Amino acid sequence: MSKLAVVYWSGTGNTESMAKAVVDGAKSKGADVSLFYASEFNADQLDDFDAIAFGCPSMGAEQLKETEFEPMFADCESRLNNKKIALFGSYGWGGGEWMHDWESRCKDNGAILACDSVICNESPDDDALSACRELGKSLV
């Protein structure tokens, strides 16, 4: 059985809804899934999981949440080499540049992106939630 962590930060509930859909998708494929808020996760936990889904909305000038998510992710990123991961999040403005930058950071650290990242503008609609479920399945 595949062991998966879904780690996220959400300010409005949009990314939280996406995280729960990722969990549902992975569980539907038989994975053992743990859901973590960003403050509950750290780099020392990476080796406990076969794959990790990270979720964070775009904040400020299209960046990860500086005070809660970014420090946790910065701690993890140097240990992502050969780790199967996926990324998801929502945004309210811009064109998703934060996700492209985030993907590059992961690739630069040797992470294996299991699938296309999922982003949505504002609240996730049915299509975005379906894409999140598929993202969860792809990590199993």
Mean pLDDT on 6-22: 95
Q: Which residues of 77-99 are buried (b: 16+ CB within 10 A; e: fewer)?
A: beebeebbbbbbbbbeeeebebb
pLDDT at res. 67: 72
The owner of tokens 């996760």 is: 41
Mind listing the pLDDT tens digit for each residue in 69-117?
A: 889 999 999 999 999 999 999 887 777 788 889 999 999 999 999 999 9
| Residue-wise pLDDT tens digits, 106-127 | 999 999 999 999 999 989 999 9
By the 8 A CB rule, do 77 and 85 touch?
no
Contact present, 11 and 57 (Cβ < 8 Å): yes
Helix (H, G, I), strand (E, B) or coil at 134: helix
| DSSP-derived pairing of the beta strands 51-55 and 32-37 | unpaired
What tokens does 36 get?
A: 């973590």
Instruction: State how far the Cα of 121 lies from the Cα of 74, in Å rounded to an integer.
Output: 25
Q: Is the distance from CB of 122 to CB of 14 less than 8 angstroms? A: yes
Q: Are 44 and 72 in contact (CB under 8 A)?
A: no
